[in-house]
Amino acid sequence: MTLNVYNTLTRQKETFIPLNPENVRMYVCGMTVYDYCHLGHARVMVVFDMIARWLRQSGYPLTYVRNITDIDDKIIARAAENGETIAELTARFIQAMNEDADALGVIRPDVEPKATEHIAQMIAMIERLIANGKAYPATNGDVYYAVREFAAYGQLSGKSLDDLRAGERVEVDSFKRDPLDFVLWKAAKTGEPAWESPWGNGRPGWHIECSAMGEELFGNTFDIHGGGADLQFPHHENEIAQSCGAHGGCTHHEHGKTIESHVKYWLHNGFIRVDNEKMSKSLGNFFTIREVLQKYDPEVVRFFILRAHYRSPLNYSDAHLNDAKGALTRLYTALKNTAPSEFDVRETSNDYTRRFFAAMNDDFGTVEAVAVLFELAGEINKTNDVQLAGCLKALAGIIGLLQREPTEFLQSGVSDGLSGEEIETLIAQRKQARADKNWAESDRIRDLLNAENIILEDGAGGTTWRRS
């Protein structure tokens, strides 16, 4: 089946035709490592992990790059505030980022380039931009990109230069030729890290990092560039201007339009909202992944992210996470009651696999794909068909779900109450009470467990339990 993706640049779905089917290349903007990752980062990590998994499932040899920004104003300020070196700060939060990603079932990208390891490439790109008349050094030691020299500026975000200038205040004592020009190289400030350059000691601006690292790893053009919707402007807009300004050859025609971009498909995931408000520290509704994982199993969080379409806004609340937990519990319960047989989706096709694949090939339609999983679970509950159970586990596995032992998931959970051993002891005591026909004691133990949110399920094979 043909994969169609929504291209932010052209604002429509397009058939995915890679530049080289033997080497599909995807670059995703990663984290600035000065603090713990938040829910917005969780969505980026899980969404593009899902996309990488689907591309590989579809037979494309993929190289997935997600960069790490390890030099930045916020990093410098936080390290100074903590009284630690920048290297100590960034190493600590890179480790924390990887721990969070691992918990969410995110497969590590193939390459995770660090900005500080590619300063030479950034300087070389800036030199080419100056030589091509797209950038200029200012008298304060900074180097700026001359936005007016790139006619296609604004095409990704749909913003025109005139509209942008109308909303821009004139800067006082600015060294820029145009208020919209953005910095490529920042002159060194006292006490800050700096590197030697033709324009004096300094460090790179944020936007040039991804242009230089993408070119270093992938060359002048590549297939997919991804990130959160908040990066569409100005970060990705500026990337296009830098990359095309540095090497040219970006112009091509798509759908009757002249497009200028070094990337064929631009993909952006939607925002995270909290109780229908934008997540922000100022509103006090800002959650790190670690805070959420103190209350919810990581697979519940992954499932919560994937059962919404990646481009839609995602509203976080305890009610929505509790609902996701209940829904994932229903899927795992179907697998607990009917042990799955081996099922290879590449060799066996049925109506469920066809509809799952059709959903995923329609711009990674996880909403419809997850609906297929629930249909499968419903049929499994009716028929106890082990092949359908295998199909459910195999399809869910494509997007990183339902790969644990069902009992392990069903009995997992963040609890300050009874341990698994204590629960098993109480179940054994209840069994003895029932054997002794001591119904009052049996009911007392069941009520005690219910109060601890432990659900007992009596069956022919004995009593099993799960956390509610």
Annotated binding-site residues for ATP read 281
Burial of 193 (0-12, 13-18, 19+ CB in 10 A): middle
Helices (H), 28-152: 39-57, 73-82, 86-103, 119-131
Amino acid at 284: G
Amino acid at 452: E
330 Cβ neighbours under 8 A, 6+ residues apart: 374, 377
> Hunting for tokens 């969404």 — which residue is that?
47
Q: Is 13 left (phi over 0), alpha (psi -120 to 50) or beta?
A: beta
Residue 150, classed as helix, strand or coil, is coil
Is residue 427 within 8 A of residue 450, CB to CB? The reply is no
| DSSP class of 221 | -
Rounded Cα–Cα distance for residues 80 and 68 (Å): 20
Cis peptide before 234 (omega within 30 of 0): yes
Rounded Cα–Cα distance for residues 70 and 90 (Å): 6
Work out whether strand 263-269 and strand 272-274 pair parallel, antiparallel, or are unpaired: unpaired
What's CA 462's distance to the chain center, in Å? 42
Known binding residues are 29, 210, 235, 239, 281
| Phi, psi of 26, rounded to the nearest 5 degrees | -130, 130
Is residue 85 within 8 A of residue 91, CB to CB? The reply is no
Amino acid at 74: K
Partnered with residue 24 across adjacent β-strands are 62
DSSP 280-330: -TTTT---BHHHHHTTS-HHHHHHHHHTS-TTS-EEE-HHHHHHHHHHHHH
Amino acid at 377: A
Measured CA to CA in angstroms, residue 403 lies from 188, 305, 307, 332, 397 at distances of 50, 17, 17, 9, 6
106 Cβ neighbours under 8 A, 6+ residues apart: 45, 46, 49, 400
Take residue 238 and report the two structure tokens written for it: 């500026």
Is residue 147 within 8 A of residue 161, CB to CB? The reply is yes
Known binding residues for Zn(2+) are 29, 210, 235, 239
Rounded Cα–Cα distance for residues 83 and 370 (Å): 47
